Amino acid sequence: MVRAAGLIKKFGAFTAVDGISFEVRRGETFGMLGPNGAGKTSTLRMMSGLSPVTAGELEIDGIDATANPRSVRDVIGVVSQHDGLDPDISVRDNLTVYGFYFGLDRDTARRRADEVLDFFALRARGDDSVDDLSGGMRRRLSIARAFVSRPRLVILDEPTTGLDPASRNRVWEQLAVLKNSGVTVVMSTHYMEEAAILCDRLVIMDEGRVLGAGTPDQLIQDLAGAEAAQVRPEEGRREDVQRQLKDGGHDVSDIGAVFVVHGSDGQRADLSTISGARVTYRAANLEDVFLTLTGRGLRDE
């Protein structure tokens, strides 16, 4: 469905996307996980035909997206990081008018708007103003809007950033509906739970590069092992503990209050000899993958 090869985006002298390659298969939900400034939005905007490709290849649904961004926009739906909803018209009209942009005639656009409102359980709010919706509701509406044109691919940029946990759950439900409808989804996020729950496959990005790719389980297994250890130094023993870990040749990430230690070859690290610290083990997750790849947390801001 999507094939990127050596994709580059430069803003003046600054390289935001530095030669990334990935492939998205038809029908899957594909994630881009990375911290602020990783180049997720830049990549998704190129895919959406909103930002010219500086160099590299980008093919979407058989279309050369570098040369023909408009044909790409015919077959995709886009949900941007800010909702971009239209406050001058009602919720329903936001959908109808979006149909107009795709060239639907009035009757078709209205019918389609009602279908989409039903599909995403937004019917009751159809006549409201967009400004009266909660943040979660707005986000769901902007996802619904991307669906008006019956896209083959939906591109979502951080669909749940800034939402409270309850709204996030509703958006996840909605994305699950999307996924079950068979549409291909490409989404960015900096929440590892989100990537783990929703994505069939994902790439981990940082500073414009792809650091790892695979299914969430596979990435965790390969790069973080089954379990990660959290080592919490006792009062005043921080440096001592750090030295012990280093001397032991462990794979250590310093995330402030604790050290996170990942095992190798899928085994948990043996920390029985460490003194002056409390060691707890927990199941490894994508955050650990990011830690082992970069030595930093996902949400270092």
Partner 1 sequence: MNESLAVRRDARRFDFRLRGVVGVWLRHYTAFKGGWMIEMTGILIEPVFILAAVAFGIGELVGDVETRGDGVKYAVFVAPGIVVGNAMWHALFECSWGAFRRLQTNRIYDSILAAPVSMRELALGEISWGATRALMTTAAVLAFASVTGLVESPWAVGILGIGILTGFMFGGFGLIAAAIAPSTHMLTLVFTMVGTPLFFFSGTFFPISTLPRWIEPIAWALPLTHPVRIARALATGDLYLSLLWSLLYLVVAGLLFYPIATHLLRRRLLI
Ligand X SMILES: Nc1ncnc2c1ncn2[C@@H]1O[C@H](COP(=O)(O)OP(=O)(O)OP(=O)(O)O)[C@@H](O)[C@H]1O
The residues binding ligand X (CB under 6 A) are: 11, 14, 16, 34, 36-42, 81, 190
Residue 239: C-alpha distances to residues 229, 243, 248 (Å): 18, 6, 14
Contact 251, 261 (CB under 8 A): yes
Q: Does 78 bind partner 1 (CB under 8 A)?
A: yes
**Residue 145 contact partner, candidates partner 1, ligand X, Mg ion, none, CB within 5 to 8 A by sort of partner:** partner 1
**DSSP-assigned letter for residue 269:** P
**Minimum distance between the CB of residue 283 and ligand X, rounded to whole angstroms?**
26
Residue 102 contact among partner 1, ligand X, Mg ion, none, beta carbon within 5 to 8 Å by kind: partner 1
d(CA 72, CA 47): 8
C-alpha–C-alpha distance, residues 92 and 129, integer Å: 9
| Site membership for partner 1, residue 259 (CB under 8 A) | no
Separation between Cα atoms, residue 232 and residue 23, nearest integer Å: 40
Q: Which residue type occupies 104?
A: L
Footprint on residues 12-51 left by Mg ion (CB under 5 A): 40-41
- Output 31 or 263, the one with its CB closest to Mg ion: 31
Q: Using DSSP, state whether 23 is helix, strand or coil.
A: strand
Q: Which of residues 81-100 bind partner 1 (CB under 8 A)?
A: 82, 84-90, 93, 96-98, 100
Stretch that binds partner 1, among 43-51, 158-166, 172-180, 216-224 (CB under 8 A): 43-51
At residue 158's C-alpha, the angle toward residues 153 and 164, to 5°, is: 130
Q: Give me the residues that bind partner 1 (CB under 8 A), please.
A: 11, 48-52, 59, 62-64, 67-68, 70-71, 73-74, 78, 80, 82, 84-90, 93, 96-98, 100-103, 145, 149
